Amino acid sequence: MREVAFVKKNKDRWQLFEDVLSNKKNLDPDRLSELYVEITDDLSYAKTFYPTSNTVVYLNSIASKAHQKIYKTKKESKNRLVSFFKTEFPLLFYKYQRQLLISFLVFAFFSVVGMFSASNEGDFMRYILGDAYVNMTLENIEKGDSMAVYKQEGQGFMAIGITINNIRVAITAFVFGILLSVGTLYVMMQNGIMLGSFLYFFYDKGFLWESSRTIWIHGTIEISAIIVSGCAGLVLGNGLLFPGTYSRLESFKRSAKDGLKILLSTIPFFIVAGFLEGFVTRHTEMPDGLAIFIIVASLFAMLFYYVYYPIKLNKQS
């Protein structure tokens, strides 16, 4: 290939790499790594066929800058976690908004199914929530404290226990995605029906407002993060179902890696939700205004980080 044709063919890619190195644009770390390999391949090619040309000097220059930046990044590994949540993950998550929407719609649909089923079948709530929970809650209602369940354990133990349980649910939703996404959809269905039955139970007893302003203090983040973990499972499953131009194994590896990153992104939110449930939700005497503020702020945080911010960051890159 003539040098002019070689430059014309690859100059856009080289310019993109320069823009990333000068922080004018952002790229997913995986794509950046691929780009670096491509640049070094181009450099090797140029050294072979145009050893005395300016193209070699140019490519050697940007490859050296990239190497220095990568080395510096390794030395500053303490910032890796911040970089992941601030840039790497949001850029990655942008392309999975469709899976997030599907996870949400399935969860929401089966929440409605849970409400409808509970309203038409008296024993349905006991089947879903369990006799022990229903009987305990009925006793609490008779005692005048329908939300007493959140005050029974010590704050710290409750927060830790809830956090561990929520992370377990999230891992299940992710891992079950290996069953061609059907397993993940089942987990979303199961949790959606449970939530719908729970809400109808308190509606039927005349405590919908009291229960809602209480459980959504922690539930806004908790349920949102579970839906995101459902998205992670769908990403995993879709890698097997729709390999595209990759081999099915390679597609699975890539989707598993991306799905795991999505799952990991939920852990801080589960910790926050666990803290709220253990230390804040129990204070049912708090003013309605404060409870509503926490709920709205939580919803804003989840929508901002998982919907608005990835879109905004992608437009800037």
Q: Tell me, yes or no, whether 83 lies in a domain.
A: no
Least confident window among 52-61, 83-92, 155-164, 271-280: 52-61
pLDDT tens for 168-188 read 999 999 999 999 999 999 999
Residue 241: pLDDT above 80?
A: yes
State residue 24's pLDDT score: 77
d(Cα 163, Cα 185) in Å, to the nearest integer?
Answer: 22
Radius of gyration of the chain (CA): 25
Report helix angle 182-204 to 208-241, nearest 10. Answer: 170
Report whether 56 contacts 50 (CB < 8 A).
yes
What rounded mean pLDDT belongs to the chain?
91
Domains identified in the chain, total number: 2
Provide, rounded to the nearest whole percent, the portion of the chain with pLDDT above 90: 68
Residues 47 and 153 in one domain: no
* Tokens matching residue 131: 């006799």
Q: Alpha-carbon distance 18 to 281, whole Å?
A: 50
* CA atoms 47, 50, 51, 55: torsion sign: negative
Question: Distance between terminal CA atoms of the chain?
Answer: 32
Give the side-chain half-sphere CA count within 13 A for 47. 9
pLDDT above 70 covers a percentage of the chain that reads 95
Q: Do 18 and 44 sit in the same domain of this protein? A: yes
Residue 104 binned pLDDT confidence (cut-offs 50, 70, 90): very high
pLDDT, one tens digit per residue, over 202-229 is: 999 999 999 999 999 999 999 999 999 9
pTM of the predicted model, to two decimals? 0.78
- 291 close to 122: Cβ distance less than 8 angstroms: no
**Burial class of 9 by CB neighbour count within 10 A (0 to 12, 13 to 18, 19+):** exposed
Domain coverage including residue 152: 89-316
Residues 50 and 159 in one domain: no
Mean pLDDT, range 19-33, rounded to an integer: 76
Question: Could you tell me if 129 and 170 lie in one domain?
Answer: yes
What six digits make up the tokens of 2?
């003539």
Query: Does residue 251 register a pLDDT over 70?
Result: yes
Question: Has residue 82 been placed in a domain?
Answer: no
* 65 and 127 together in one domain: no
Query: Same structural domain for residues 137 and 195?
Result: yes
Do 62 and 102 reside in the same domain of the chain? no
**Burial of residue 18 (number of CB atoms within 10 Å: 0-12, 13-18, 19+):** middle
Average pLDDT over residues 264-268: 98
User: Quick one: pLDDT at residue 172?
Assistant: 98
What average pLDDT does range 179-203 have in this prediction? 97
How many Cβ atoms sit within 10 Å of the Cβ of residue 35? Answer: 17
